[in-house]
Amino acid sequence: MRVAEMGSFSEAARRLAVSQPALSRTIRLLEEGLGVRVFDRDTRNVALTPAGAELKPIAERLMAEWRSAFGELSQFVAGRRGRITVAALPSAAAVLLPPAIEIFRSEHPHVEFRIRDGLSGSVLQAVADGEAEMGLTVQPTPTENLIYRPLMADAFGLVCRRDGPMFRALGRPRPGEGVPWSVFDAHPFIAMAPKSSVRAMTDAAFLRAGLAVTPLYECAFLGTAGSLVAAGLGITALPRLTMPLVAAKHLAWRPLVRPTVRRAIGVVTRAGRTLSPAAAEFLATLSSLHALE
């Protein structure tokens, strides 16, 4: 196209910062490939042939598409475009992701997010299957397929009605004071579903405390557990991170001790799989915001 604009091989070569022989050789190879002359040449002038005139708008369109595609690729490589799929525990999806996404999108407004929330098993499966670039979940059993990076520690606490007799009996907590797990021995216990990470940790805590606590209710959703507690049907043990997902307005949370239990929340990625530039930058944002809270 530059030769057609300049009407001169030497001037076009100068503008393109290549040697004239190299440019002439490129044109010759193009004509041989097409099987037709593109330029008529004499000692003074260079002009497009009819085939060359037909080729020029096609070449201009191809160059425009190439520049557009290259520009989009550059945006992707710089982390300014793309789509990030994150699998996460419901509490992590509701509490940890929104502020991190808000900060990230202020500088990367064209990056899209897809969030898949579910129990720990489904989060790990989504990452292992390549359906999500990263997952936010509890620390999994070590495996060759997944890489786990710790992010924060989420303490367990007693959840009871704010206006109930137990809350009044506990009184105003002193600094560092907690409620022993033995409190569940004398009150109806509302448990999460057996396959949830919360249930696994409460069962382990009861075992460590030497308690045999039988749940009166079992719930698959945090909101259901919170509603049962709010209705005065029992008490439960939940990580602090889950409180925004229950009827927290009517409930109180007190740290549990003897034993003190914290669930480790971290980022899981697939081993041997490079994160997209946008996902790598988002992971840095997420880590700086919540690291080891």
CATH classification of the domain holding 286? 3.40.190.290
Same domain, 46 and 28: yes
What is the distance in angstroms between the CA of the first residue and the CA of the last residue of the chain? 59
**pLDDT in the model for residue 97:** 94
Same domain, 9 and 114: no
Residue 234, exposed/middle/buried by CB under 10 A (0-12, 13-18, 19+)? buried
- CA–CA dist 21, 43 (Å, integer): 15
**pLDDT in the model for residue 39:** 73
Same domain, 260 and 122: yes
Residue 171 near residue 125 (C-beta atoms within 8 A) = no
Question: What would the mean pLDDT of 105-125 be, rounded to a whole number?
Answer: 91
Q: What is the pLDDT of residues 11-50, one digit of tens each?
A: 666 766 667 777 677 777 767 777 777 777 766 677 777 7
Question: What does the block give as tokens for 156?
Answer: 């367990």
Same domain, 50 and 169: no
Same domain, 281 and 161: yes
**pLDDT in the model for residue 171:** 66
Same domain, 38 and 108: no
Name the pTM for this structure.
Answer: 0.68
* Cis preceding linkage at 259, omega within 30: yes
Residue 251 near residue 124 (C-beta atoms within 8 A) = no
**pLDDT in the model for residue 79:** 47
- CA–CA dist 83, 152 (Å, integer): 25
**pLDDT in the model for residue 80:** 55
Residues in Cβ contact with 164 at an 8 Å cutoff, skipping those fewer than 6 apart = 232
Domain end among 17, 45, 77: 77
Q: What is the pLDDT of residues 231-261, one digit of tens each?
A: 999 999 999 999 988 876 789 999 999 999 9
**pLDDT in the model for residue 3:** 58
Domain end among 51, 77, 103: 77
**pLDDT in the model for residue 155:** 94
Domain end among 17, 47, 77: 77
- CA–CA dist 257, 123 (Å, integer): 29
pLDDT at 52 over 50: yes
**pLDDT in the model for residue 214:** 94
Residue 239 near residue 222 (C-beta atoms within 8 A) = no
- CA–CA dist 234, 246 (Å, integer): 14
Q: Which is it for strands 146-161 and 236-239: parallel, antiparallel or unpaired? A: antiparallel
Same domain, 95 and 60: no
pLDDT at 180 over 60: yes
Count of domains observed in the chain: 2
DSSP state letter for 242: G
Q: What is the CATH number of the domain that holds 71?
A: 1.10.10.10
pLDDT at 75 over 50: no
pLDDT band at residue 143 under the 50/70/90 scheme? confident
Same domain, 136 and 225: yes
Same domain, 99 and 23: no
Same domain, 262 and 176: yes
Same domain, 89 and 55: no
Please give the residue range of the domain that contains residue 43: 2-77
Same domain, 256 and 128: yes
